[in-house]
Amino acid sequence: MEIRMKNKLLWILLAFVSAAFNTQAAPQLMPLQQQSQAAHLSAEILTKYHYKHLPLDDILSSKIFDNYLKALDSEKVFFLQADIDQFANARTSLDDAILKEDLNIPFAIFNLYQQRITEHITYARSLLTKGFDFESKESYQYNRKNASWPKSEDEMNDLWRKRVKNDWLRLKLAGKDDKSIVDTLSKRYDNSLKSISKVKSDDVFQNFMNAYTMAIDPHTNYLGVRASDEFDISMKLSLVGIGAVLQDKDEYTTIRELVAGGPAALSGKLKVGDRIVGVGQDENSPTTEVMGWRIDDTVALIRGTENSVVLLDVLPAEAGPDGKHQLISLVRKKITLDKRAAKKSIIEVKDGSITRHIGVISLPEFYQDFAARQKGDKDFKSATRDVSRLLGELNNDKVDSVLIDLRNNGGGSLYEAIELTGLFVDKGPIVQQRDSQGKVTVESDTNTGVAWSGPLGVLINRASASASEIFAAAIQDYGRGVVIGERSFGKGTVQTVVNMDQLAKNEKPEFGELKMTVAQFFRINGGTTQLRGVTPDISLPTMTDAEDFGESSFDNALPWTQIKAADYTPTGDLTGIVPMLAASHNVRISKDKDFQYLEEDIAEFNTQRKKNLISLNEADRRKEREAQEAKVKLREKDREADKGANATDKESAEARSHAFQDDGLQSNERKLDADLAIEKANKNTKDVLLNEAANILSDEVGLLKANPRLAASTLPKLDMH
């Protein structure tokens, strides 16, 4: 009976895919045998060894079902309510699909999704020949995650009409004429159709498996073979390739950036804007044409083993489509991803006649080359090693205080979080772990001495998670430094990576990996960062909404809980100085125009987010745009008046103002130099929060120097390495 019901459901879904509209059906994707086997093996591992011990049953199947639909159509702009109703029997069948190694149902759901995309984008494209009435008073709801599924084709078509109308209006407000708008949007929608046609079976399987793993907890993930490679690269911050950042632009694999010191840059034969149209595996082999390929497929051909040769068929940036090609051979080398490594800078803070120097170390992630370390490589890549080196340089620079910037650092190696904390705290407990059996272990720093014994600050935001929270919490619990910023993400769980190909003894990678939650970590004071995150000592403004982002936004997150505190002794006491720092901070920001501008923008953003509607009336939108432009110009004028801006400052302000105007284009639709200019303007924008954090630490230095007793309680002497 169960098998017959599943076959019937599959038939209905497949029939649905090839039915609606007269649009040409997209190619049907089907599960591969190794995917069904990998799903089953994943279920065996997760049910036995995951921290939560959840059985794969109808209850979990229902959660997988909801996750899968959310992953495919979170904004509810592709599926109709009738489609969802057709899926009803699948809600409690996905557990059986996994255990019986029959993934036809989730693939059938995806095939219908792919068909719906084709239908709706084709409809969107058809609207371009009709134009729009921009004098009518109507609005567009741009965030539909809490909306209902459209109940009819008419309702869906009206939704897409408004989406296209908004696309058109944005371009019109940016000064584009009708012909240019039609050309741009036609190309955009065509590219969308091409993108969906490039989806592979592996992509569908990855989506479905993550719907399963994340139904157990938000931080358990399935990593397919290619995703596993990317995860490995992100942890060791290196890869073997040519040293070029690539992007897909008009069906070409285009060079966006050359990595300094990489083979591509050193050759002198390649430049930004060049297009790679073919790739060969040595100088004598024919090249494989990659025009129209997915960027990750092209990248996979370009990467390879160290010291091997790759042959590139290149269409120069200045050449037209029929221009002369160049054949360029390069030797692949190990490329270090320095942009994602720790970096230092020094901020000068004026306090009357005194200038203080605040050393800033920005750490994007807690990386470590695990494989190199296991092999005994003494120079393995490590976040702690890099930060230790930078601290030595800042010591030589005689900075007055150090700020560790962990904003947007989503975590990484637990080992690195412990070791990094040890650079500021002498030997002692750093974090506690509790496994699925309830056993608690205390992880400690065992290295004698510290790399920095002076005043310390940690800057966090809502995207600071996991290892970042371990570090910030330990610094806070030891009273070692001032934590500044937003409440952090709230991820208090520990994951390990399970290589399923090793378990199955596969000769070549087929099954991928599981990143699986195996423990929960706790602060040394006994609390956890789970759900609640790390609360800063001094708070800064935030644009994030806890309902939309952070651990508390997940309905299946582990609850907050508490265990016994570890045996540790705080090295400092900040209770006396934090209120003074907060008072000085409040006085300063009340006079700081840039800070006030930021708070105004945040308030405006939150108002717009709650409103969740945008006018489709041209006159209304022009007023909004003109008001925004006037506000930006007034702010720049105020800045010039305050600081006596020179010509360079004015040019920078004009470039920044131009870059932040809405041009209605997507990144890959702009000319490359224009897109790079926007990226540069974003990078060079004044970091108001970082500057204020530096001011807070400067205040601390002043207070400690003026009050020896306060300094003695805040900064007890620590041994330096």
3 has a pLDDT exceeding 90 = no
Structure tokens at 493: 């769980």
Tokens describing residue 520? 């929960």
Element (H, E) at 347: strand 343-351
pLDDT value at residue 8: 40
Provide the pLDDT for residue 9. 40
CB-based contact 108:73 (threshold 8 Å): no
Residue 322 φ/ψ, nearest 5 degrees? -100, 15
pLDDT at residue 531, rounded to an integer: 94
Q: Give the DSSP per-residue string, 664-680.
A: S--GGGS-HHHHHHHHH
**Mean pLDDT, range 225-231, rounded to an integer:** 91
Alpha-carbon 125 to chain mean position: 31
Closest CA to 21 of 134, 130, 160, 129: 160
User: What is the 3-state secondary structure of 413-428?
Assistant: CHHHHHHHHCCCCCCE
Catalytic residue among 445, 477, 501, 675: 477
Q: What's the gap between Cα 712 and its chain centre?
A: 41
Catalytic hit among 36, 466, 468, 698: 466
Q: Please give the pLDDT value at position 675.
A: 86
CA dist., res. 297 & res. 302, Å (int): 9
Report the alpha-carbon distance of residue 209 to residue 110 in Å, rounded.
13
pLDDT tier at 58, thresholds 50, 70, 90:
very high
Query: Locate tokens 């103002």: which residue?
Result: 657
Percentage of the chain surpassing pLDDT 90? 80
Give the pair of three-digit tokens for residue 404: 């560790």
Whole-model pTM over 0.75: yes
| Alpha carbon 88 to chain centroid, angstroms | 33
Q: Which of 165, 249, 333, 491 is catalytic?
A: 491
Residues 496-501: what's their mean pLDDT?
96
Name 658's Cβ contacts closer than 8 Å, sequence gap at least 6.
681
Structure tokens belonging to residue 503:
């378990």
Alpha helices in 397-513 (DSSP H): 414-421, 467-477, 500-504
Neighbours of 706 (CB within 10 A): 9
What confidence tens digit (pLDDT) does each residue in 268-303 have? 999 999 999 999 998 888 999 999 999 999 999 999
Residue 491 falls in the annotated catalytic set? yes
Residues 165 and 130 sit within 8 Å (Cβ to Cβ): no
pLDDT in tens, 513-564: 999 999 999 999 999 999 999 999 999 999 888 788 999 999 999 999 999 9
Tell me how far apart the alpha carbons of residues 489 and 406 are, in angstroms, rounded to a whole number: 12
Report pLDDT for 21. Answer: 36
Residue 682 has what pLDDT? Answer: 83
Task: Confirm if 672 and 249 have CB atoms less than 8 A apart.
Answer: yes
Up-side HSE of residue 574: CA atoms within 13 Å toward CB? 25
Q: What is the pLDDT of residue 677?
A: 87
The pLDDT value recorded for residue 674 is 86
Whether the per-residue pLDDT at 92 is higher than 70: the answer is: yes
Contact present, 239 and 231 (Cβ < 8 Å): no
pLDDT at 332 over 80: yes
Band (pLDDT 50/70/90 cuts) for residue 659 is: low
Instruction: Give the right CATH number for 238-336 from 3.60.20.40, 1.20.810.10, 2.30.42.10, 1.10.3720.10.
Output: 2.30.42.10
DSSP assignment of 8-24, as one string?
A: HHHHHHHHHHHHSSSPP
Where exactly are the structural domains of the chain? 2-216, 238-336, 338-574
> How do 401-405 and 456-460 pair as beta strands?
parallel
Q: What is the pLDDT of residues 98-119, one digit of tens each?
A: 999 999 999 999 999 999 999 9
What does CATH list as the number for 338-574?
3.90.226.10
Contact, 447 vs 424, CB < 8 A?
no
| pLDDT in the model for residue 4 | 37
Is 466 a known active-site residue? yes
Q: What is the pLDDT of residue 189?
A: 96
Give Cα 371 to chain centroid, integer Å. Answer: 24
Q: What pLDDT shows up at residue 691?
A: 97
